Every structure is written in C-alpha cells, then in structure tokens.
Structure 1
Amino acid sequence: MHSVGGFSRGTVAARARKAGGSKVDQAYLALKRAIVSGVLAPETSINKNEWCATFHVSRLSITTAINRLAFEGLVSVEPQRGSYVAKIRLEDVRQWMLMRRALEMEVVAVCATDMSDDAIEALGQNLAYQRAAISSGDLEGFHELDTRFHRQMTESLALARVGEVLDPIRTHLERVRRTLLPEPGRPEGTFREHEAIYRAIGAHAPDQARSEMANHLDRVSRELQAFVTKHPGFFEE
C-alpha cells in the first residue's frame, strides 16, 4: 500500500466514507485525496479492482470517478493502457502560483489594516500548534495547520468571494506542496515565514505584510524549481 508521511490509501478511503455521499462520490474523493496528497504518485497505475474492493462498488462506479478526475486533469486515461495519475504540468503550476501570490499579498495587507484583535490572537494560536507539530514530527498535522493559517485570513474578514477563488487554486497546488513538504528544513522555514507574516499583521503594517507574504510564496517557487531538477519524472512542461 502506498504511503506518504503515514498517510495511506486506507486512511484516504476512510476519510471519504466519513464524509458521506454516494459510493461514486466517496470513491472520487478518496482517489482525489490520494493523488493530491502524494499517496498515488504521478504515473502510478490506478488499479480499478483494488478500488472496487475498497468501496464495494462496481467497476462502472470507479470508472465514473476516474472520468471525473480525468476532466479535472488529475488522471490520464489511455486506451489499451489504462488509467494513470497525471504528471504535474509546470506551466499550470506557475500560473496558479502567480494568481495565488497576487491575491494573498492583497489579502494579508487588508488583514494588517482591518483584522480584529481576536482574529490575530487566533492566528497566533495556530502558530503555537504549528510549532508543536514540528516538534513532534507530525508533517500531516503541520500541513493542515499551514493550510488553515492562510484560510483564517480570508475567513476572519468575511472575504467569502476571495476564498471561493483561492480555495480551488490551493487545491491545484496541493500536490506540489505535499511533494515539497518532506524536504529537509522546509517545515521549519515555512513556520518562520508564517511568524513574520503574523508579526506584520499584529503590527498593522500592510506594506511589511505584503513583503513577508511575497517572500513566503516566492520561496515555494524556488524550491519547486530545485525539486523539478532532482525529480523530472513528476512533471511535464
């Protein structure tokens, strides 16, 4: 069974069942989470029989789930060859990161101007949990807190429409972030950057907050390029 950071195919399937919905929806969510989390690496063959057994559904149901993922660009379906996890397209990643950078720099500037004391305190609490996750080696927990840290900014200001745009972008970038997260020193570096963003918000310094967010997201771009050089099989232009 494939596993990344203790995050196995069985775990993804269990979470999908807990989320409810039809069997097709559960299979779709489980497969999507397995791909996004890195449990199923690029070019991994998707064994329909295994997933049928996992969810006790027909091959037609699994095929329907796979077709939905193919429409989203996460799976490649090739006649006579089967279904495979799609490689990550670098050009797509570059554009998603460009959009995320532009939006989050403006969001954090608004946070530094308008975020309430209670919301700032909640960000600080998130950072305390991030520190604890790093200390205990809980990469999965740290990843979830990292995602939550960024989402708290839009939610605390009731920027629902901005969140609707950012959430799909973050989902697309999830595969990249999960791939990079185990790299030595990355969680610690991310935590320090989050601290700098938090301090700028707490100081009500919008220009500094923009700068710290830009530094944070630009490092991801630099690390991605370094990772591509070492693991070219994960990506395609």
Structure 2
Amino acid sequence: MHSVGGFGGGTTAARRAGGSKVDQAYLALKRAIVSGALAPDAPIDKNEWCAIFEVSRLSITTAINRLAFEGLVVVEPQRGSYVAKIHLEDVRQWMLMRRALEIEVVGVCAADMPDDAIAALGQNVAYQMAAITSGDLQGFHELDTRFHRQMTEGLRLGRVGEVLDPIRTHLERVRRTLLPEPGRPEGTFREHEAIFRAIAAHQPDQAKNEMANHLDRVSRELQSFVVKHPGFFED
C-alpha cells in the first residue's frame, strides 16, 4: 500500500476548493501526481482514497478515469490503476512549443513591458532569492511558475497565455522532478535574474538569448535525469 500520509496539503487544498467529492478527489490525486508525491508507476489504492474523502469506490473510480483521460493515470484490468510514466516524445514536443513562444514573448517584454510590470517581475526575483535562502523549495517553485506567467500578463497577452498555460501544466511533472536536483534552484534563479536584467535594460535580443539559455538548460538536465532514472519515463 502506498501511503497517502504525505499528501495532506493536497487533500486540504482540494477540500477548500469546493466542488463535489469526486472533484476534490480528482484535484488531490492530480496534485499528488504532478508534484511527484505519487511517482511514475506508483499504484493508486482506491480504498485509501475512499477513506480520505469518505466516498464510494465508484466516485474514486470516476476521478481516476478523468486522470486516465488526461494521460496521468493508466488503468489496467486485473492489475489496477497506476501513475502513468512520463512520455519523452510528448515532453520534447511541449518543450519545443514552450521554447518558441516564450522566447518571442520575452523579446516583446524587453521592448514594451510597462514599468510597473517590470517592477513586479523584479520583486518576484527578489522573493525567489529569499525562498532559496530559507530552503523553501515549494515557495520557490510557485515563484518560478509565476515569474513566467507574469510576462504574458504584464503585456496583456491573454491569448498567448491560454496556449502556454496547458503546455506548462503538462511539463509540471518534469519540472517538479528536476527541481530537487542539487544546484537546480540556484541555477534557475541565476537564469531568471539574467532574464529580468535584460528586460529591465530593454534589450530584446539579450532577453531572448537568456530565455533560450534557460529553457535549453532544462532540456539538457532532463536528458541527464532520464539516464539516471529510466523507470520514470517511456518513449
């Protein structure tokens, strides 16, 4: 049995979010998978989740089926439900799309981002440093995600954000997996700081180069991680 004791934050947040118990179970399971609390190929014990949310097996099965439709869970007859492995080809394509869009966005930021939005981006970078100093990995992750989203929001590029947000969600499991690697938060912070400085200096070409360097490093580290943890992935 894979204990759910470490998922308290996710279940509490799901309950606060409201909705039906099926929705709450779905959100809690999704958070556990995306955050890495439930690792790839880990079994999902329906009885445990039924007990946590005080719902029937049918309700948990419904939640699991929604996650299976999203590609986060694999349901096999006679074997049960398991967390899906990460498909490398999907990750490569998502990274390609994200790279193309975010490099263009950061160039526009350096040319046209309003001063108040640049100041907010700088505040985010300062908070990232504080999170690293205090060892707050979860806080740093949230600031990292916010840093990238602030660029489209600061330019009011709502349609671009609508395209990027699902891509980032798909890549969330990969990012969460890489973040605990030694030196990764510090490296990410330095790259974010370089991106911010180029934006603040209104240097579009430099900003685009720094963003390309940032995203390319993620791709390289993913390949290195795959070699060390092949069981998490499949082609």
Match of 1:198 in 2: 196
Q: Which digits, 9 at most, give the CA deviation of each residue in 1:177-227, with x for residues without a partner?
A: 000000000000000000000011011111111110000000000000000
Alignment map for 1:143-222 (pairs within 5 Å): 143-222=141-220
Q: 2:28 aligns with which of 30, 34, 38?
A: 30
- In 2, distance between residues paired with 1:53 and 1:161? 41
Structure 1 residue runs of 4 or more that deviate by more than 6 Å after TM superposition: none
Q: Structure 2: which amino acid aligns with 1:37? A: S
Match of 1:123 in 2: 121
Identity %: 83
Q: Secondary structure at the match of 1:45?
A: coil
Q: Report if the CA contact (8 A) 2:195-2:211 is conserved.
A: yes
Match of 2:136 in 1: 138
Residue 112, structure 1, aligned to residue 105, structure 2? no
Instruction: Give the direction of change, closer, same or farther, for the CA distance of 1:187–1:123 in structure 2 (3 Å limit).
Output: same
Q: Structure 2: which amino acid aligns with 1:119? A: A
Q: Report if the CA contact (8 A) 2:22-2:59 is conserved.
A: yes
Instruction: Give the direction of change, closer, same or farther, for the CA distance of 1:2–1:184 in structure 2 (3 Å limit).
Output: farther
Q: Which digits, 9 at most, give the CA deviation of each residue in 1:155-187, with x for residues without a partner?
A: 111111111111110000000000000000000
TM-score (norm. length: structure 1): 0.97
Match of 1:40 in 2: 38
Q: 2:52 aligns with which of 35, 41, 54?
A: 54
Aligned residue pairs, count: 233
Q: Structure 2: which amino acid aligns with 1:111? A: C
* Pairwise CA RMSD: 0.9
Q: Structure 2: which amino acid aligns with 1:109? A: G
Q: 2:85 aligns with which of 84, 87, 91?
A: 87
- In 2, distance between residues paired with 1:137 and 1:205? 32
- In 2, distance between residues paired with 1:177 and 1:209? 22
- In 2, distance between residues paired with 1:2 and 1:97? 31
